Amino acid sequence: MEKIYMIPVNDAYSEQNGCPICRLRDLAEKNYLEYYLGPSLMEPDTRKITNKTGFCPVHMGKLNQAVTNRLGLGLVMHTHLKDFNDELNPKLKSAIPAKSGLIKGRNSEYKHRLNSIADLIDERVSRCPICDNMNDAMKHYIEVICWMFSHDNEFKDKFTKAECHCLPHTALLLRQASSLSQNEASDFVTALYENNSQSFDSLISDVEYFTLKFDYRNTDKPWGTSKNSIQRSMRFLSSDDRNFDEQQTKKQN
């Protein structure tokens, strides 16, 4: 019987359009973006987290694009800025090096203090609760995928027939496969290898044809499936859901 945690995995593998694990990631990201702009932003426990972490540049940009709650985003930014200022600027002020003179000589201790404050800034601006939650969600999804492959024949068939698994998510699957029994890992990695090989062969062929289309002798030949092969290859290699340079593809029509 299908468990509730299996539903999003089955849904992602039921769609034939790129990497199903990328779809799971996008779903998780959408849910967490909505969560941090929803009622949770007024909960004290949530604000304690966002006051300390803020959001990474990617998710700040996506929160900014989600115009559903501009006030909420403003409130989060306001208290995060205050928290950051309260921690950083007193340390920064106390770390201003004293100027050396005839009486007071040079002291290299200021170098350590400045580097420590720089480390503090780097550590704080790199933190993001959405990234943390997504990493946890992806770990769970990968565990469920491997379990379903070994215990659900219908899903096993879906996995085998998936259009592709992008390379970063292939790495996640391989790491999880190392926790399977040897026989289970053999079946799982065989299916992953066959799927991966088909993806490489298809993309290599399409990208080659794409380049050959720029030969004047092939001008009148149809593009076939090669027209967006550059963008599909980028997504396969990077697990990035951006459109990259799809506008250039449209100009070729």
**Residues listed for the chain:** 253
Q: How many CB atoms lie within 10 A of CB 136?
A: 11
pLDDT tens digits for 203-250?
999 999 999 989 889 888 999 889 999 999 999 999 876 655 555 445
CB 226 within 8 A of CB 210: yes
189 shares its domain with 97: no
Separation CA 145–CA 9 (nearest Å): 7
Tokens 């946890």: give the residue: 136
Domain boundary among 98, 130, 162: 130
pLDDT tens digits for 78-125?
999 999 999 999 999 999 988 876 556 567 788 999 999 999 999 999
65 shares its domain with 168: no
Separation CA 253–CA 66 (nearest Å): 32
In this prediction the pTM is: 0.84
Angle between helices 167-177 and 129-151 (to 10 degrees): 60
Domain boundary among 114, 130, 146: 130
Tell me which residue range forms the domain holding 12: 4-130
Q: What is the pLDDT averaged over residues 6-15?
A: 94
40 shares its domain with 142: no
User: Which two tokens mark 113?
Assistant: 């203090």
181 shares its domain with 236: yes
The band of 51, judged by pLDDT with boundaries at 50, 70 and 90, is: very high
12 shares its domain with 88: yes
